Structure 1
Amino acid sequence: MGLIMPFRGFSPRIADDAFIAPNATIVGDVEIGAGSSIWFGVVLRGDFNRIHVGAGSNIQDNTVVHVGDAPADTFIGDNVLIGHMAMIHGCRIESGSFIGMQAMILDGVVVESGAFVAAGSFVTPGKRIRSGELWAGRPARRIRAVGEKEKLMIGRGPARYADLAREFGREISLNAQSGEPSGGTALRGV
């Protein structure tokens, strides 16, 4: 398991079956729901306010999740897919939405269920991305309705990553049992 660190009297609360990569960092007031996966190099820093990650969500490699100034918790719902190297800051990402690789989602943004933020997008503070909308660009704007391809990514992505997380967890456990270096135990409760 990665670095799990209390801060200001708050300890991260992580579901027993969540996958935490060996080099992920989780600090302070952070809650991670059942079946979620926090991948390699991810940082979740709940120091000023709270971070909530729902069940079945995945946050991919080298993503940073932080909170905004009070009262700016960061909320990530259930079955959310967040791509590699995203920046998630003081915003609300509702269940069943998709955030592409290297997207930046800033303070006060709301990404509604079923919305899709394309890779590399920069969503400026206070925007609302409505259900069924695809946003892209720097700064991001509404491009069109979510198409069938995006709907498939939203629908299948979280389950695919849950399967992959279980496979990584088994491999890490096997390596630990055989004495191979594994970087720590990553999947508890299996």
Structure 2
Amino acid sequence: MSDHGRHGVTLIALDDKRPVIADSAFIAPGCVIVGDVTIGEESSIWYNCVLRADVSRIVIGARTNVQDGSVIHCDGPDPRRPDGYPTIIGDDVLIGHMAMVHGTILQDRAFVGLSTTTMNGCVIESDGMLAAGALLPPGKRIPSGELWGGRPAAKMRDLPEMALAEMRLGVAHYVHNAKRHNEAINGG
């Protein structure tokens, strides 16, 4: 994994922590990545995202995408929670444009819709979905196979197998599209 050679990307080491990014990951120009951030193989961080791990850590697995304008942060330790609220994002996760993911765990294949907000202590289980525009309040958990929406978010319905299959297609699309953008930016 490396943290160099990325055009138009701001990578900032803070204290003794620096971003660690898989060579196969796509980081679009305009992104700012600070501190204790790890990004896995074939993941993509799209234009003008901010990932700031200055008080805890952010871990992003393989083939996950964080779409344009999203912000990912974490929360530091306190007397009741010595590890704080790191943001841990699994493999094959879809995070829509302009999402705010804060101190949250997104398990493999979770989906976070456009313009959503997740807050400290939230968990979206594998194959769980937060609908566009929703706010998931602190400590809430979306079980596998459920769609939640609203402000504050609540269960809307169970997800049919077709919706889960479409999310998997979305992951494959973003892996492919990131390669196209990387070639365009880096000249092949």
**4+ residue runs of structure 1 moved beyond 6 angstroms?**
none
Compute the displacement of 1:149 (Å). 4.4
Where relative contact order (Cα < 8 A, 6+ residues apart) is larger, the structure is: 1
Q: Secondary structure at the match of 2:180?
A: helix
| Partner of residue 11 from structure 1, selected from 18, 43, 66 | 18
- 1:68 is aligned to 75
Q: Deviations over 1:71-116 (max 9, x none)?
A: 2110010000000000000010000111100010100001000001
Aligned-CA RMSD value: 1.0
For normalisation by structure 2, the TM-score amounts to 0.91
Distance (Å, rounded) in 2 between the aligned partners of 1:4 and 1:153: 33
**Which segments of 5 or more consecutive residues in structure 1 lack a partner in the other structure?**
176-190
Q: Secondary structure at the match of 2:186?
A: helix
- 1:50 is aligned to 57
Q: Deviations over 1:115-142 (max 9, x none)?
A: 0110000000000100001000000000
Letter in 1 for 2:73: H
Q: Secondary structure at the match of 1:102?
A: coil
Q: Secondary structure at the match of 1:107?
A: coil
Contact 1:103 1:118 in 2 (8 A): yes
Contact 1:29 1:51 in 2 (8 A): yes
- 1:105 is aligned to 118
* Structure 1 residue 27 corresponds to structure 2 residue 34: yes
Distance (Å, rounded) in 2 between the aligned partners of 1:26 and 1:54: 16
Letter in 2 for 1:13: V
Distance (Å, rounded) in 1 between the aligned partners of 2:169 and 2:97: 17
Letter in 2 for 1:121: A
Contact 1:21 1:40 in 2 (8 A): yes
Q: Secondary structure at the match of 1:10?
A: coil
**Which segments of 5 or more consecutive residues in structure 2 lack a partner in the other structure?**
1-5, 78-83
- 2:182 is aligned to 169
Distance (Å, rounded) in 2 between the aligned partners of 1:153 and 1:98: 11
Q: Secondary structure at the match of 2:155?
A: strand
| Partner of residue 38 from structure 1, selected from 45, 63, 67 | 45
Q: Secondary structure at the match of 1:155?
A: helix
- 2:134 is aligned to 121
- 1:188 is aligned to none
Letter in 2 for 1:91: T
For normalisation by structure 1, the TM-score amounts to 0.90
